[in-house]
């Protein structure tokens, strides 16, 4: 413990010396690393020299209003649905419906979300795409015996036509959709 207090007093006395000697200590890797344990404010010499301006101080060109930055969530085409809207949106739909059963904690579900969003854009007007969170809408998941996620189900005329269980390439989903869309 005495050696630590001695090194602290040495470090504090060396930091109170002239600026030329302290700047030489800042660039000395041995002293710099030993200081990091004792005085964190002096540990990293580069914090004294910022080589770039922070973004809010930079003169960035202003984009026209037509080039607004959008979040990825606004681009999503598959609509989240709850049990309150299930009957009207799924069972009474005039066109075929794709429903992805997912959970917010599920990593593979996020991969399937991207595929379903692409499919929703490609089949807009011919297929409605919805998302059901199995954690919040357990009754729907129980009705369709969803035991694992992700599960993608296809409905036509209110009846379940096909299901794809697990994470699959986009072609699997497209093939199932094409089978359902055939007259």
Question: What CATH number is associated with residue 151?
Answer: 3.40.30.10
* 35 located within any domain: yes
Same domain, 134 and 92: yes
pLDDT digits (tens, 9 = 90+) for 65-113: 555 544 444 454 799 999 999 999 999 999 999 999 999 999 999 999 9
pLDDT digits (tens, 9 = 90+) for 162-181: 999 999 999 999 999 999 99
The pTM score is 0.59
Give helix 2-15 / helix 29-38 axis angle, nearest 10°: 120
Same domain, 95 and 168: yes
Same domain, 114 and 151: yes
Same domain, 98 and 147: yes
Catalytic residue among 42, 106, 119, 154: 106
Give helix 29-38 / helix 19-27 axis angle, nearest 10°: 100
- List 102's β-bridge partners, or say none: 133
* 109 a catalytic residue: yes
* 68 located within any domain: no
Same domain, 41 and 82: no
Query: Which residue segment(s) compose the domain that 99 sits in?
Result: 77-181
Catalytic residue among 42, 90, 97, 109: 109
């Amino acid at each position: 413990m005495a050696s630590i207090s001695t090194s602290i007093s040495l470090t504090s006395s060396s930091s109170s010396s002239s600026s030329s000697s302290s700047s030489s200590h800042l660039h000395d890797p041995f002293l710099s690393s030993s200081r990091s344990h004792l005085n964190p404010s002096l540990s990293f010499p580069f914090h004294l020299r910022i080589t770039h301006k922070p973004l809010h101080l930079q003169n960035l060109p202003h984009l026209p209003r037509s080039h607004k930055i959008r979040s990825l969530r606004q681009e999503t085409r598959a609509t989240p649905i709850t049990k309150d809207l299930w009957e009207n949106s799924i069972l009474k739909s005039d066109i075929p419906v794709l429903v992805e059963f997912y959970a917010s904690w599920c990593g593979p579900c996020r991969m399937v979300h991207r595929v379903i969003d692409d499919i929703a854009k490609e089949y807009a007007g011919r297929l409605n795409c919805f998302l059901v969170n199995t954690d919040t809408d357990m009754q729907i998941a129980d009705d369709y015996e969803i035991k694992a996620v992700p599960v993608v189900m296809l409905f036509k005329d209110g009846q379940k036509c096909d299901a794809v269980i697990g994470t699959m390439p986009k072609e699997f989903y497209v093939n199932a959709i094409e089978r359902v869309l055939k007259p």
